[in-house]
Structure 1
């Protein structure tokens, strides 16, 4: 089974603190004032709730934490953007009660989760949908049209200069320099990398022959740690090209690629990312309450942008500490609420989940403590 969507990411702890989200440390215990109200707006909730995982969710987690704590001032929320792999490891070991991950749990991890979830099971809940921007640094050029094969050829090192005939042919009227191309990839095991390489393998299999992987599978190019490292590398070198969550590219002056979908070129917008998710299906054979999505990377649907990630919140259906489970449930109810999703969309440029998906996730959350 292709895990499709997702895997790992990382930001420095200092950046997490600058966002106001304390690094995940200390106790994960949670308590409630009355223990009777499970809604995300209950002022009776109190205690601390620690999560860890995908750096792609950093801005969204900051936004969700602020909104949730606004109506639950006695709850302290901490999210450590250690990367998807690190988040899953901390969740499975019991170090944190929830994780953010750009990859849903695989079969081995699901088996480990049965012990961690005290007789229940882990549930992958798709709470964050965002385009992955293919970004470049070419002064004076704001956007480029590129087919999947051209993108793959750039990252395999077959195309080495910006005025290569293949790039020129897709960008009539754009003056392209003979500047050398420097592809930038993640040095850490990354969900963004897994999503990006899955897209390349699915959409340009003749050029990109490597399977999807969270670890960059090729030699050459420039490696950078975490989402922030990739953005810094792109900004620091003329002729660079890389990939990162669009929310991290939008505030910069970097150019972005519109990829060829069918006969049109589509840019990395929230609406275009949502269109791909709507056209995709769920993975079969998953545990009850789990919602893992198999993305259609080769879609030709009008307006769809297939270089997308669906990032999950991973929770248990049962917790040894009932109060902790109550906090997890209440926070996730806020995360998927219309208010929470719209707040993240405004702050991070993500695509709000559909009403149908919200209903599905709500049913999953109702399993916690049932």
Structure 2
């Protein structure tokens, strides 16, 4: 008994075509006759299992003509090409195996955009392969962007390079717009797939818990096909360390002046784990009752910069907190207000 007597494989020479181009494709049907490692007489079981794969199959006896068809060299009963609306635009019948290895179809100049399908049948078996048609005009130039693979907390400056040239290596005449962003890897992947700049120059962190503003760069491309851009990313970090799945993304749109055509290229860089911010308070370790005490709290962030967050000072001899929207500030504790002659201070 046998379930499937043939396996159909098919492919096109590429996945995307423009109207007017020729679609080249091929099919091959594999049966026991094709894949036997040594010559022997072709035989085929007299029974077949019929039914869906999730249910119990029914055993059916094959008719003599069906057995003969399966024992003979396989051929394709039907090959159809259908447009995105399901209309059959080309059809072949009774295609021999060798003929199916080299088939083609020329798209008309106003071929419909969308997903096309090529359907083939061998007996009861069917196979489909897909390709897309788009009217996009490919730019006559190419562009690349490169950035270091890994960014460490000590790396205050980041350099990325942009190259834009024609096929002969000559620099294009045009402009570029670049974005430097830190956000979740998932968000960056989706944006890379869209081949567009990040909208509104904002990018969300992992789990969308924090939104960062991207850094923007722009300029003119002329004479030199490649150039470097170096920038300080302290402002981009913004005093908030990146999360585990955050990456640095570089997106560059290069536009040719003569045609107005543009390309968006992008790269990602790993961000090494950032250290946690440190809280410090500088004040004398002891003091005498009745004398004022001066101190200075510090809230240090990464790269020896400071957090601009609200810092609150609580002193054991004061009735209320002192809160400041500054990374550091001097404070004064009036020792005369202490009840027991001692006073302690802390920050949060």
Same fold (TM over 0.5): no
- Give 1 or 2 for the bigger CA radius of gyration: 2
| Greater relative CO (CA pairs within 8 A, separation 6+) | 1
Which has more helix, going by share of residues? Answer: 1
